[in-house]
Amino acid sequence: MRHAETIKSHPNFDPSFSEIVDLRGVTELRASTETLRQMALRESVFYSDSKHVVIAAPGLVFKMARMFQNLAEETRPRLKVVKTPEEAFDYLRGSMSLI
C-alpha cells in the first residue's frame, strides 16, 4: 500500500512516465481482494494518460492482476495485464491495443 508513495518520493520520479510491474516471480499472494480494491480505487501517482502494464504468469497471480485491472478502470484507464515482457514493451511502444 505504501509503494506509490515510495515511487512518488524518488528524486527522479516523473508522473508522465509509464509503468511496468513484473509479477512473474511472485509465488505467494498476501493481498486480500479488499486490499486490491482499495489500491485500485486510489488515484495513480502517474498522469491519467500514462500506460501501466503488469506482467504476470498464467495462474492465480494473472487472475488477480486482471481483477485489479477491472477495478482500476477509472483510476488507471491505460492499464494492461500481459504474460510476457515482449507483450509489455509492444504495448508501451503502442503496437498493441488496450484490449
Q: How confident is the model at residue 92 (pLDDT cuts 50, 70, 90)?
A: very high
Q: What is the C-alpha separation between 48 and 44, in angstroms, rounded?
A: 8
C-alpha cell read off for 33 = 481482494
Give mean pLDDT, residues 15-43: 92
pLDDT tops 80 at residue 96: no
Q: What is the C-alpha separation between 36 and 26, in angstroms, rounded?
A: 16
Question: Nearest CA to 23 among 74, 73, 71, 67?
Answer: 67
Amino acid at 27: T
How far from 22 is each of 11, 17, 19, 57, 98, CA to CA, in Å?
A: 22, 16, 10, 9, 18
Q: What is the pLDDT of residues 69-87, one digit of tens each?
A: 999 999 999 999 999 999 9
pLDDT tops 70 at residue 95: no
Q: How confident is the model at residue 58 (pLDDT cuts 50, 70, 90)?
A: very high
- On the CB side of 51, CA atoms within 13 Å amount to 18
Q: What is Dmax (Cα atoms) for the chain?
A: 36
pTM for the model = 0.86
pLDDT tops 60 at residue 98: no
